[in-house]
Structure 1
């Protein structure tokens, strides 16, 4: 980590924002890393609660009526995998953004590096968490938390339970404009009705709770303490200074959300409107 810590990092403990803007800010942070030589680590929440679809996920897997009725936003990530329901209270999310030439080129090595502060945060919370020791078969493929558990990037707890351990965090990574962007979801609490309700499926909430655990269940700490622990772990990992988004970054993110992450064209078909409004 020494090489990364020798460079300029900022840690943003972010405001809660709608899903489209949260996804847009990742691309804006990639631009900042390249153009301004500033790397970003952040912790954030979703307001309103949001379903983020994996890049290639079919829109038919979503229960659109349920999402509308419950006031749940829907956006689409740049990363693959299944959809994740990000509850305003029960989910804690993070992002790490750094130039690709500063991190391992091997995907698994890069996952290991970028997940160091996440595993450290769990340790500081007193949670026995680690990468899954073995693969577990998928229960319901469209849902990230119910897909097959992958030892490369899925974190389970208690890790000492072996194949009986339950998923507590999912992480994903993509590269854009010579920048590596990793984001992940930590389960602070369980909202099983909503986690399965956002999908057009007959999977039961009990199936979800059998597969997934949470920070609250494992450690019993309050959410603010958990968020602060994740933020401190990220800060210590990259030796970052407390930072905020610049006005021009927020403006660029709003524009990108308006023509990409917040549009039906992107959410349903992965189409992007250019700046002039054309697809």
Structure 2
């Protein structure tokens, strides 16, 4: 079964904690959880092993930007006006490739097909591009990520262990270039801004109407149902899941 959760707006640390709690709750080899959610304020999420030495701490504090550590790898993402998704399943799910790149591609296929049905003309990146920054995720799309005309739309990151696969990603509605770039001590911020504008896409560029979160979740469910041959059902986040997330949320906080 595929459990679909349309969730609320939480702090960065709660969002990361909920994603982990939900992933750890998966017991059946065929079960999948898809959650979409938001952030209660602009939040910079850093990859699992990413260093903080290039963060502009003064700017972060002066602009009330939260900073958290993701359980997944990759580079920094600024979460603000966006849809964020979680995809999680058992690491023993036979329909998800064990190869990490191939598993990214399979998940990206579901995301792409769902967004295409909303009128967003996206595709999966086929070629590797050279990165300009070791800190900024939206620098260029990785080979498996969802793009529009070669521009990165969804920034995703994955973690897996013997029990579960946890992948989450950012789908910007309106990309926040200024806060993203100014959160780092870059030497040439204008150059980076121009570079990002050439390499980043957001939903507002391609949709005239306001994005419908319910339809997004429904489309995700339908497309992943085809890929994994599972029925879908809707279920809100449970009180006990929130309780468990609150107990571990502090492990995702980065003190600056």
Change (3 A) 1:229 1:120: farther
**Could you tell me how far 1:263 is from its partner in structure 2?**
4.9
Confirm or deny: 8 A CA contact 2:115 2:122 kept in the other structure: yes
Pair 1:203 & 2:189 matched: yes
Match of 1:195, SS state, is helix
Q: 1:77 aligns with which of 70, 77, 81?
A: 70
1:244 aligned to 2:244? Answer: no
Cα-to-partner distance string for 1:43-85 (whole Å, 9 max, x where unaligned): 1111111100011211112111111111110001122211000
2:173–2:204 Cα contact (<8 Å) kept = yes
Match of 1:255 among 228, 233, 247: 247
Assess if the C-alpha contact under 8 Å between 1:55 and 1:81 holds in 2: yes
CA contact (8 A) 1:29 1:39 kept: no
- 1:49-60 correspondence runs (5 A): 49-60=42-53
SS in structure 1 opposite 2:217?
A: helix
> How many angstroms does 1:38 deviate by?
5.3
Q: 1:231 aligns with which of 217, 229, 242?
A: 217
Describe the superposition over 1:204-230 as per-residue Cα deviations: whole angstroms up to 9, x where unpaired: 23332122111110223313x2x3332
Partners of 1:254 and 1:228 lie apart in 2 by 26
TM-score w.r.t. structure 1 length? 0.82
Structure 1: how far apart are the matches of 2:253 and 2:202?
29
Contact residue 117 and residue 233 of structure 1 kept, 8 A: no
Query: Structure 1: how far apart are the matches of 2:103 and 2:154?
Result: 17
| Structure 2 match to 1:113 | 106
RMSD: 2.0
Change in 2 beyond 3 A, CA 1:35/1:104 = closer
Where structure 2 has 5 or more consecutive residues not aligned to the other structure, the ranges are: 226-230
1:220 is aligned, of 205, 208, 214, to: 208
- Give the structure with the higher percent helix: 1
CA contact (8 A) 1:32 1:38 kept: no
1:37 deviation in Å? 8.3
**Secondary structure of 1:245's aligned partner:** coil
Q: Which runs of 4+ in 1 moved over 6 A?
A: none
Number of paired residues? 245
Residues 159-207 of structure 1 show CA distances to partners (whole Å, capped at 9, x for unaligned) of xxxxxx2111122211135101111111211221112111121322333
Matched, 1:156 2:128: no
The alpha-carbon deviation at position 125 of structure 1 amounts to 2.1
Deviations 1:71-124 (A, max 9, x none): 11000112221100001x2x2110011111113212223222222321012211
Q: Could you state the TM-score of these two structures normalised by the residue count of structure 2?
A: 0.88
Query: Could you say what secondary structure the match of 1:33 adopts?
Result: coil
Is 1:166 the equivalent of 2:151? Answer: yes
Supply the distance in 2 between the matched residues of 1:203 and 1:249 (Cα, whole angstroms): 41
The verdict on how the C-alpha distance between 1:38 and 1:133 changes in structure 2, with shifts beyond 3 A counting, is closer
Distance 1:155 1:128 in 2: 10
CA distance in 2, matches of 1:198, 1:136: 24
Partner of 2:160: 175
Contact 1:49–1:85, Cα closer than 8 Å, also in 2: yes
Equivalents in 2 of 1:92, 1:151: separation in Å? Answer: 21
Q: Which structure 2 residues correspond to residues 16-27 of structure 1 after superposition, within 5 A? A: 16-27=9-20
